[in-house]
Amino acid sequence: MGSGGRTVDADIVRPRDTSRDASDAPRRKFEEHMSKRGILTTAGVFLLVTLSVAGTVLSRAQSQTTNPATKKKIVFLAGPKDHGAVGRHEYEKDLRELAWQLEKATNLRNIETIVLVGKAPRDLTVLEDAAAIVIDGSGDWQRNETNVLFQQAQATDLRTYDAETTAFLQKFDQLIRQKGIGISIFHYTMWMENAVGRRYYQNWLGGLWIPNISHNPVDTWKMSPFKIEHPVLRGVKPWSFRDEVFSRYFLFDNPKRTELMEGTPSNASNGAPRPVSWVYERPDGGRSFVWGGSDFHDNMHSVEDYRRYLLNGIIWTAKIDVPAEGVAAPAPPEL
């Protein structure tokens, strides 16, 4: 949402609130009737005050329900389908279906979603009033792939970016810091080889996945929420699924980061149980959410707790209260 409201000069004459006149008419008529008979008693005064307060509360509640300015806008940035078999790394499908679920959730209101596919727009106007941004796409590894935000590593010296990318990243970073915009990043998006990109990720996310040191095995994974209280874990139970999961992250000491989900691969050669997802409360007041899975698209249709976990994380970054039972949304259609 945009910060603040429209400024109005104090000496502008505001139009008369005729809706209030209409709502006050019964009270004035009753008051005149009672005054003529000299029986405007203490009980009558109490009744009038009660009716007036009730009307004010109802008016405010209706305003909050119907006022478009109370909406939270969540922008999804999906990388193109630039590699992989059908059903894998379906960034656009995954994000469109998450957006659909947020708009169809039975216990959420006033959420607007926008899905953009390809490189993030260099004109950031569409992001200026966003409460949160969700990014799922390819890493910066291969020259023939497309990272949503960053230049591909093979086109750089691994220490700098070209002028266009540098200017864009500075504007993007300034925007999310100034407005406290939430950030969610999934899966392969975390693959970052350029040192400048790693510095941005560390600042935004509070942790890193480092190529050739971290790993991302395909296996049947058991996902277990850590035994802590956090809004993102509301209504989320352990689940198992087959997926490629980015893990073995570098999580440097940071009291503002909270690991939420532990992943255990069924094949011991793929590593011990480790954190595969966390949230981070940034110094600028914004919130971030990192999740290592989301390769196999069919999981979006078959695993309810997986979907709920992602939906909870996204709305938490948008500073929307997570319902006690977690986000309740129907399974999405194939989009």
Distance of CA 45 to the CA centre of its chain: 48
Q: Are 233 and 224 a contacting pair, CB within 8 Å? A: no
Query: Model confidence at 5, in pLDDT bands (50, 70, 90)?
Result: very low
CA–CA separation, 238 and 293 (whole Å):
14
**Quick one: pLDDT at residue 334?**
87
CA–CA separation, 281 and 287 (whole Å):
5
Residue by residue, DSSP assigns 106-170 as: TT--SEEEEEEESSPPSSGGGGTT-SEEEEE---S--TTS--SSS--GGGS-SS---HHHHHHHH
**Quick one: pLDDT at residue 69?**
54
**Out of 69-73, 270-274, 327-331, least confident range:** 69-73
Angle between helical axes of 163-179 and 195-205 (0-180°, round to 10): 10
Rounded mean pLDDT, 196-208? 96
Tokens of 41: 């008693």
Kindly tell me if the per-residue pLDDT of 23 is higher than 50. Answer: no
Rounded mean pLDDT, 157-167? 97
Query: Model confidence at 7, in pLDDT bands (50, 70, 90)?
Result: very low
Kindly tell me if the per-residue pLDDT of 258 is higher than 70. Answer: yes
